[in-house]
Amino acid sequence: MSIRKAVLAGVAIAFAAIVPVQAAQAQSGMLSLRKPSPVGSYLAGVAALENLDGNRAARYFMDAASEEWDNPVYVSRAFLSYLVAGKVSDAATLAHHLLDLEPNDELARLTLGTVALKQRRYSSAEQTLSRISDGSLIGLTGGILRAWAQAGNGNPSAALATLDALGDSGFADFLVFHRALVADVGGLRGQALDYAREAYEMDPFVTRIAEAYVRILANAGRFEEAQIVLDEYAAEGIAHPLVDSLRAPVAAGRRPGLFANSVQSGATEMFHGLGTALARDGSLELGVVFLQLALYLDPEASVVAMTLGELFASAGRYSEADAVYGKIPSSSPLSTSALIRLAESRDAQDDREGAISRLRNIVNSNPDNVEAWGALGDVLRYDERWEEAADAYTQLINTIETDRPRDWRYYYVRGIAYERAGHWENAEPDFKRALELNPDQPQVLNYLGYSWVDMGMNLEPALEMIERAVELRPRDGYIIDSLGWAFFRLGRVDEAIAELERALQYLPNDPEINDHLGDAYWVAGRHREAMFQWRIAIAVDERGEVTERARPKLTEGLVDMPEIQ
C-alpha cells in the first residue's frame, strides 16, 4: 500500500470513529436538556432519605430546591438530609434560608444553636434557643441545650434553674441526670453528687448513668462507694467497656476524670441520650440527626459513634456504618467493640469468611473478650459450623467467673450448636442450665420442650414447658407450632390441629408448620387437606430439609407414623 493510500485509509477510519461519537455527543446534549423535574427529584430524595442515604437525598432535594428556591418543602428536606449525612455546616447554612421561609422551624433553630455552642458563642446560642417553644421534643432538647449554653457562660446555677423549669416535660429522670452533669462541669461538686445519686436510684443499671455516678463518686474520693456501684452493675449480668474501664482506677484509688469534661461533651450526651431513645421508639431519621449533632459537638465521643454505626447498620447502610466505626481510635475502651462491628458488617455484606477471619484475629488478640467470642460463635452458628460454634461459646463461658442471670443466652446458643451437631448429651445440660439462670425464658422453654417432643421423650414435662412459653409469647408462631406438635405426639390430635392452624395464622409460609399440620390432618383422616399442606410445605421450603421428608408423603401418605402416646 502506498503512503497516500495509507493516509487516506487512516483518515477514513478516523472519520468513521468520529461520526458515532459526534452523534452520541449530540444525543447526550439533547438529553442533558431534559433535567429531572423538581417533583421527580423530590420523590427520589424521599426514597433515599427513607433509606438513610443522606448524601444522595441531599443532592436530589437540592436539585429540586435549585429550581424552586422559595419552596419550603424542598429546602427543609435538603436541610434534614444534610443533617442525616452528618454535614452539619451545610445544614446550618441552609437553616438560615429555611428560617426565612418558615420562621417557626424548630429543628433549624436547634441546629443553629448547636453550631453556636460548638463555636463557644454561648450568648448567641442561648438567644437562638430561647426562641424555640418548650412544648415539643425539639423544645425540650432546645431547653436542655440552652442550659448548657448558660453553663458555658459561667452560670451553672442559671443552667440548673432552666432545667428545673423543664421538670414537667415527662423526662424527669433524664433531666436529673443532666442536672448532675451540668453541676459537675460547673464545679458544683456537692450538687453533682446529689443529683447523680438520685439519677442512679431511678435507673441503676443504665450504663451512662452508672458510669457517671462512678466517676463523680471516685472524683470525690469515695472509692468504696464507687466500687459498690461497679459490683452491683456486674452482679446484674451487665458488661460495658466504658464501665469496665473504671475498675482499675477505682481499685487503685485514682480519680478517673469527669464524665463530661466540657460544655460541648455535656451537650453531646444530651443528643446521644435522646437520639438513642428516638431510634428505639421508631423515629430512626430524627434519632440519626440527633446522633450526628452529638458527633459534631464531640467528634471523639466513641459511645455516640458506636450507636450511630449500629443504627446505620440496622438500616443496611453498611458503608456509612463502617465509616463511623473506623473513626473510633484504638485508645478508646470501645475500640474492640468497633472492630467486632466491622467484622459483623462483613458478614452482613455476604463476606462470611472475611467476618470469621477478622473475628478470629480479634479473639486471638483479646482472649478474654466475651463480646468477641460471642460474635464469633454467632457467625459460625449462622454458617452451620456447629462444632466450631460450640467451641467458641465454650471459650466465652470459660471467661465468665460466676454465672449471672443474663448469661443464660450463652448456654442456650451453645446448646443449639451442640444439638445441631448431634451431641444431645451436651446440649441438654446447657438448656437446663440456661433455665436455671432464667426459668421463664420462652426461647429456652420452647427449644428444650420441642426437642424432647421431637425425640418422643419427657412429653408431659415438655408440654408444660411449651405451654408456659406460649403464655409468655402468645403470638409467636414457632412456639405455638411446638405446642401443636406436642399435642400431636401425645395423641391429642384435635388440639394439635387447632394449635397448628393457629400457628399458620402467624407464619403462613413456614414449611415446618405446614408439614406438621399435614401430618395431623392425615392422622385425623383428612387426607386431601393433608396433601394440600404437604404441597405448600414443599413449595415454600428453601432449604430442602422439609421437602426431603414431605415429598414421599404425596404418593404414600404418612407411612412412617411418629410414635404417638
Average of pLDDT values for 529-534? Answer: 96
Q: How far is CA 270 from CA 140, 174, 267, 294, in A?
A: 11, 9, 5, 8
Assign 3-class secondary structure to 222-252: CHHHHHHHHHHHHHCCCCCHHHHCCHHHHHC
Q: What's the pLDDT tens digit per position in 166-183?
A: 876 678 889 999 999 999
pLDDT at residue 7, as a whole number: 31
Which residue in this structure is represented by grid cell 470513529? 17
What is the structure's pLDDT at 563?
60
Rounded Cα gap, residues 556 and 537, in angstroms: 16
Residue 405: DSSP 8-state: G
194 three-state secondary structure: helix
State how far the Cα of 445 lies from the Cα of 437, in Å rounded to an integer: 12
Average pLDDT of the residues of the chain = 91
Of the candidate ranges 20-24, 226-230, 388-392, the one whose mean pLDDT is the lowest: 20-24
Q: What is the pLDDT of residues 323-334, one digit of tens each?
A: 999 999 999 999
Taking a C-beta distance cutoff of 8 angstroms, is the pair 383, 356 a contact?
yes
Q: For 286-300, what is the mean pLDDT? A: 97
Confidence band, pLDDT 50/70/90 cuts, at residue 35: low
Give the pLDDT of residue 169. 63
Q: CB of 456 within 8 A of CB of 485?
A: no
Q: What is the pTM of this model?
A: 0.84
pLDDT digits over 461-474, tens only?
Answer: 999 999 999 999 99
Query: In degrees to the nearest 10, what's the CA dihedral of 127, 130, 132, 137?
Result: 120
Q: What is the pLDDT of residue 235?
A: 83
Q: Is the pLDDT of residue 25 over 50?
A: no
For residue 530, the model assigns a pLDDT of 96
For residue 110, pLDDT over 80 is answered with yes
Give the range among 17-31, 107-121, 215-229, 422-436 with minimum mean pLDDT: 17-31
Q: If you average pLDDT over residues 11-27, what whole number do you get? A: 37
More confident residue, 411 or 135: 411
110 CB-near residues (< 8 Å, 6+ apart): 129, 132, 138, 141, 142, 145, 293
Cα–Cα distance for residue pair 379/375, rounded to 1 Å: 6
Residue pLDDT, tens place only, 264-282: 999 999 999 999 999 999 8
